[in-house]
Amino acid sequence: MKKYQLIILLVCAVSAAFISVYAADGGEIRRKARYYYLEGARCQAENNHLAAFEYFKKAFMTDPSYEEAASAYGMNRLMVKTDTLQSNPELKRSLDYMRRFVDAYPADRNEANSYAYVAARLDSIEETIRVYQRLDSLYPGKEMTLLQLADAYMHAHREADAIKALCRYETAQGKSPQVSLKKMSFMLAAGDTAAAIDEATALIDYNRREPSFRILKGNLYEVIGNNDSTLAYYKQAEELNPDNGAAKMALANFYKNIGDSVAFDNKMYEALLSEDFIQEEKIAILEEYLQSLLNDKSDTGRGDHLFSVLMEQYPHEPAVLDLAARYSGAKGDYKDAEEQIGYAIDLDPANVAYWGQLMRYQLADERGADAMTSYRNAAKHIDIPDGMRLMYAAAAVDEKKYDEAENTYAEMIHQVNPELPLTDSVTDTRFRNSLNFDDLTRLSSIYTMLGDTYYSAGDLDKAFRAYDNSLFFYASNPVSLNNYAYFLTENGGDLDKALEMSTKAIEGEPENDTYLDTYAWILFKKGDYKEALEYQKKAMEIAEKNGDVAAEYYHHIGDILFMNHQPDEAVKNWKRALELEPDNGLLKKKVAHKAFFYE
């Protein structure tokens, strides 16, 4: 450890007697400050950061001229997450404390680099540049300093200086693809396309047998929109090494961007066969490709063909089977998804995610009993997470096994607090006051699902008490507010109370089509047909945009249109609803008679 001379800063005129006394005591003050500093360093080494902060603070307060203490105190102030110390003025003050050591000992590269990094994070970029420039003058041509200085120049929008720093780096260290890439990006930022192209050419000349340099130049031409040159350089890269995976991916993406799906698929096929990519990389490549097909609603047969390439290479890899399952699930082929994830589970029965996927596919295929069986099988191999418990409860409701769903929710509620009731109202605020926000929202969600279960079982009293309990723990729960409001409306309840709850739900999520549908339906029940139509139309627009309009929406807007004296439009929407729910007797009656019926 260096020994530092005491520096006394005179900020105002003081008496000669005071100076004499301070000089006499200066050594003792420094020794005391140094003791605190070393204790802080010891605590920091032991990861006791709060104690370290206090010791560094004492060291600095004891001797503000002690640069090491000032720097340590300044750095540790940055780590204390209080509103006071994290305010902009205090952050700058912390930086100023650190600066004292850096300016006193400019040759200490470690401290200078730490200080410059912090300064950059605090948007004091000119200070960062000042320190790196000084390091550069002390250690000319030092590679890391030049790279850091170049980045700092770019942050300050000084592109020309940044490029000069990189050129100096290359003079000292030789040509580097990474540095050339930086230079090209800086040149493009400066608007100097010609210089960027020249840099790419120089990189190719540096090693004319390296395919990645051709790809890099092709990427550059792609950025500036020169497709012919882009394709030419990608092909050159492939010609240099016909098995190069990166060249094939570059070509594949190029063909995708110009809309040549046949060439795109061919290059993807070749890329998946390339030995340049490991299994995980191939899975990621194929997953992105398959997702693009699904997003574009393209022919998934193309994806099936490419998937066969991966399956042939890795027929017994759980990760590949997992992707196969997710792909089939996304296509709606839940049987195949279940089969594929089943194979993955056989190979890796301790994988929690795989069991969850299996249950999701079975629930999506409306096979609640199978999902419940999978849950019980999973319990033999894994610790069941809450997400799977919720799926089990949902499956039990689907199978009308309401007691099992209730027991599952009860178990989850009692994990938070064993004294909480299921069917009685919770009114004791001590339950609420003892919980953190996460537990409050968790309980609110569980009570909401419990309410839905009771409603499905036909027990309205228990359902409404469960919703009340949900809102007791989190009054802004939009799902609980919406469901409570809707079921209250459907069962002749207090429409004003229902409207108030529905209003809160859509205030929280104004673009939620389900909540808007509920709000419109309550208005309809209250006889406000004009406003009901306005909100129902908005709900329909959002649902259509999402590609999922429920039969209930068509049914509701049909009723609302009829009451707004638009019978022809009403019948059209009833017919659409009937197409989705062909066994709905009330809809059949409305369509047949072209008239509204309550039941």
Mutual orientation of helices 67-79 and 109-121 as an angle, nearest 10°?
A: 40
Is residue 300 within 8 Å of 261, Cβ to Cβ? no
φ and ψ at residue 469, rounded to 5 degrees: -65, -40
Is residue 519 within 8 Å of 535, Cβ to Cβ? yes
- Classify burial at 588, counting beta carbons within 10 Å of its beta carbon; exposed 0-12, middle 13-18, buried 19 or more: middle
pLDDT at 7: 26
Longest distance between any two alpha carbons in the chain, whole Å: 110
Q: Token pair for residue 151?
A: 């980045």
CA 203 to chain centroid, in Å, comes to 37
Measured at the CA of 121, the angle between CA 116 and CA 122, to 5 degrees, comes to: 95
Buried b (16+ CB within 10 A) or exposed e, 528-560: bbeebbebbebbbebbeeeeebbbebbbbbbbb
Each of the 599 residues of the chain gets a pLDDT tens digit; together they read 333 332 222 222 222 333 333 334 568 898 988 988 898 889 888 888 888 888 988 888 998 888 888 888 888 887 766 655 577 788 888 888 888 888 989 998 888 888 888 888 888 999 999 999 999 999 987 888 899 999 999 999 999 999 999 999 888 888 887 888 888 889 988 889 899 999 889 889 888 999 999 998 999 899 889 999 999 999 999 999 999 999 999 999 999 999 998 999 899 899 988 889 899 999 998 888 888 878 776 677 888 888 888 888 998 999 999 999 999 998 899 999 999 999 999 999 999 999 999 999 999 999 999 999 999 999 999 999 999 999 999 999 999 999 999 999 999 999 999 999 988 999 999 889 989 999 999 999 999 999 999 999 999 999 999 999 999 999 999 999 999 999 999 999 999 999 999 999 999 999 999 999 999 999 999 999 999 999 999 999 999 998 889 999 999 999 999 999 999 999 999 999 999 999 999 999 999 999 988 87
Helices (H), 174-299: 177-189, 193-206, 211-223, 227-240, 245-257, 261-273, 279-295
pLDDT at 20: 34
Report pTM.
Answer: 0.69
Q: Is residue 427 part of a domain?
A: no
The CA–CA distances, whole Å, from 210 to 217, 232, 296, 360, 444 equal 12, 15, 36, 48, 60
Q: Token pair for residue 30?
A: 């420094």
Is residue 356 within 8 Å of 350, Cβ to Cβ? no
Q: Is residue 486 part of a domain?
A: no
pLDDT at 450: 98
Is residue 496 within 8 Å of 482, Cβ to Cβ? no
Q: Is residue 595 part of a domain?
A: no
Q: How far apart are CA 526 and CA 523, in angstroms?
A: 5
Q: What is the CA radius of gyration of the chain?
A: 35
Q: How far apart are CA 432 and CA 506, in angstroms?
A: 25
Count of domains for the chain: 1
Residue 348 identity (one-letter amino acid): D
Q: Is residue 4 part of a domain?
A: yes
Q: Is residue 582 part of a domain?
A: no
> Residue 29 maps to which CATH number?
1.25.40
Which residue range is the domain that position 98 belongs to? 1-105
Q: Token pair for residue 260?
A: 């040549």
- Residue 356, CB half-sphere, CA atoms under 13 Å: how many? 12
Q: What is the pLDDT of residues 535-549, one digit of tens each?
A: 999 999 999 998 889
pLDDT at 78: 79
- Specify the long-range contacts of residues 52-61, CB closer than 8 Å, at least 24 apart: 52/76, 53/77, 53/79, 53/80, 58/33, 59/33, 59/34, 59/35, 60/33, 60/97
Is residue 100 within 8 Å of 70, Cβ to Cβ? yes
Torsion of CA 268, 269, 273, 274, to 10 degrees: -30
Q: How far apart are CA 484 and CA 497, in angstroms?
A: 10
pLDDT at 18: 32
> In sequence order, what DSSP letters do the residues of 510-560 get, joined into one string?
TT-HHHHHHHHHHHHHTT-HHHHHHHHHHHHHHHHHTT---HHHHHHHHHH
Q: How far apart are CA 102 and CA 114, in angstroms?
A: 10
Q: How far apart are CA 114 and CA 402, in angstroms?
A: 61
Q: Which of 523, 593, 594, 592 minimizes the C-alpha distance to 560?
A: 523
First to last CA, the chain: 89
Q: How far apart are CA 161 and CA 177, in angstroms?
A: 20
Residue 73 identity (one-letter amino acid): Y
Q: How far apart are CA 273 and CA 54, in angstroms?
A: 60
SS3 content of the chain, % helix, strand, coil (to 5): 75, 0, 25
Is residue 351 within 8 Å of 345, Cβ to Cβ? yes
Q: What is the pLDDT of residues 334-376, one digit of tens each?
A: 999 999 999 999 999 999 999 999 999 999 999 999 999 999 9
Q: Is residue 48 part of a domain?
A: yes
Q: Token pair for residue 438?
A: 């996460």
Q: Is residue 23 part of a domain?
A: yes
Q: Is residue 67 part of a domain?
A: yes
